[in-house]
Copies of this chain bind each other. A is one copy, B any other.
Amino acid sequence: TTNTSSSSFRIHSSSSPMIEKEIPQFEKPSTFLRESEGDTSPNSSTSVRARFEKMIREAQDTVCSAIEAADGGAKFKEDVWSRPGGGGGISRVLQDGSVWEKAGVNVSVVYGTMPPDAYRAAKPSSGNADLKPGPVPFFAAGISSVLHPKNPFAPTLHFNYRYFETDAPKDAPGAPKQWWFGGGTDLTPAYLFEEDVKHFHLVQKDACDKFNGDFYPQFKKWCDDYFYIKHRGERRGLGGIFFDDLNAYDQEMLLSFATECAKSVIPAYIPIIERRKDMPFTDRHKAWQQLRRGRYVEFNLVYDRGTTFGLKTGGRIESILVSLPLTARWEYDHQPEEGTEEWELLDACINPKDWI
């Protein structure tokens, strides 16, 4: 169902000496971990790095299969890449399907050294005051996905689950190694169907409640706070769950929690798509969807930590920016009239609600 393209990166690698080259691969390795830590046997003593990689690669397969099945025709195109210093990734993109206009599901496993300013973008504040702002060797693995449907009544979905480890900072060799989990799943409709949003949030809550009763209310609020387009005074969409820098719990529990969240993506999303994908719509609906896609671009390029971190650290640009919609629109000073369906959606983006 996938094919590997080999002609990628020609322009980037020849013109951007600042950016570490990604090397296209023709075959998927069984692990992107460095040899010394590449133990992927399924016993419980396997490293968290290895088990997290296994989880995100399985989630990528599951989500892509479900999307292809629901789209009913289009197939994901796959790019496999590696980096000279270790690590790599698998980018899968479905473009111009019957249901989705652009759907990206990427996994990556990256070793690197964070410059202090990129480090701040990735993790601007937390309780880890013992981490110095000097260059920090890190390990990051994650799955990241944005699914933009064609039908303006079918919502965009984003999810991302990631595991981060730092080595001791180079200028503070005695400092302890740090780890944390981050992630979330959130829904961005152009039109508000309460039953969709309730279903979506209920699935998120169920996943959270299996682990900690505080998670859903806490991560729901975190999501509303995170996806805030400050210069607009509005959120990108209608939220879901979001968490970051999570390490104040048992590491095994958090690994299981992230796994559960990733498994909840399809049951949270596909039932909504099935209800909306064939609804008739007009040019007005399409134009409003496009304006909301413009807001999506604004959030991702200006505020999103993953995107700004990726742009600063020289990640694979096409993988990072696959989150952007196929098409977007900016009309000058567009204001939906009070009481319209467009206004209702915007109002819910300005004033987050409790959906459950």
A 318-356 to B, binary, CB cutoff 8 A, 1 in contact else 0: 101110111111111101000000000010001000000
**Any chain B CB within 8 A of the CB of A142?**
no
**Any chain B CB within 8 A of the CB of A234?**
yes
Contact across chains for B331 and A329 when beta carbons are under 8 A apart: no
**Any chain B CB within 8 A of the CB of A18?**
yes
Q: A302-B301, A317-B231 are in contact. Are A329 and B329 (CB under 8 A)?
A: no
Contact across chains for A332 and B11 when beta carbons are under 8 A apart: no
Q: A311-B302, A328-B327 are in contact. Are A333 and B11 (CB under 8 A)?
A: no
Contact across chains for A318 and B302 when beta carbons are under 8 A apart: no
Give bound CA distance, A317 to B295, whole Å. 12
Contact across chains for A326 and B322 when beta carbons are under 8 A apart: no
Contact across chains for B311 and A332 when beta carbons are under 8 A apart: no
Closest B residue to A327 by CB, please name it.
B329
Give bound CA distance, A297 to B232, whole Å. 17
Kindly name the residue among A5, A232, A234 whose own CB sees the greatest number of chain B CB atoms within 10 A: A232
Contact across chains for A294 and B350 when beta carbons are under 8 A apart: no
Give bound CA distance, A350 to B93, whole Å. 26
B residues within 8 A CB of A311? 230-231, 302
Closest B residue to A298 by CB, please name it.
B301
**Any chain B CB within 8 A of the CB of A47?**
no
Closest B residue to A333 by CB, please name it.
B318
Q: CB within 8 Å of B: which of A15-59?
A: 15-16, 18-19
Contact across chains for B324 and A294 when beta carbons are under 8 A apart: yes
Q: CB within 8 Å of B: which of A234-264?
A: 234
Contact across chains for B333 and A8 when beta carbons are under 8 A apart: yes
**Any chain B CB within 8 A of the CB of A173?**
no
The size class of the interface chain A forms with chain B is 35 or more
B residues within 8 A CB of A77? 332
Determine chain A's interface SS by DSSP, over half rule.
Answer: mixed
B residues within 8 A CB of A325? 330
Give bound CA distance, A198 to B337, whole Å. 47
Closest B residue to A332 by CB, please name it.
B93
Give bound CA distance, A8 to B11, whole Å. 43
Closest B residue to A16 by CB, please name it.
B233
A 297-314 to B, binary, CB cutoff 8 A, 1 in contact else 0: 110011000000001001
Closest B residue to A231 by CB, please name it.
B311
B residues within 8 A CB of A184? none
Closest B residue to A103 by CB, please name it.
B332
Chain B: minimal CB distance from A248 (Å): 30
**Any chain B CB within 8 A of the CB of A275?**
no
Q: Which of B11, B15, B333 contacts A335 (CB 8 A)?
A: B11
Contact across chains for A102 and B332 when beta carbons are under 8 A apart: yes
**Any chain B CB within 8 A of the CB of A79?**
yes
Chain B: minimal CB distance from A330 (Å): 4
Q: Which of B16, B326, B333 contacts A331 (CB 8 A)?
A: B326
Q: A234-B11, A311-B302 are in contact. Are A318 and B332 (CB under 8 A)?
A: yes
Kindly name the residue among A7, A232, A327, A333 whose own CB sees the greatest number of chain B CB atoms within 10 A: A333
**Any chain B CB within 8 A of the CB of A104?**
yes
Q: Could you give 18 example pairs across A and B, Cβ below 8 Å? A: A7-B335, A11-B234, A11-B335, A12-B233, A15-B233, A15-B234, A16-B230, A19-B231, A95-B331, A102-B332, A231-B320, A290-B327, A298-B301, A321-B330, A326-B330, A326-B331, A327-B330, A328-B328
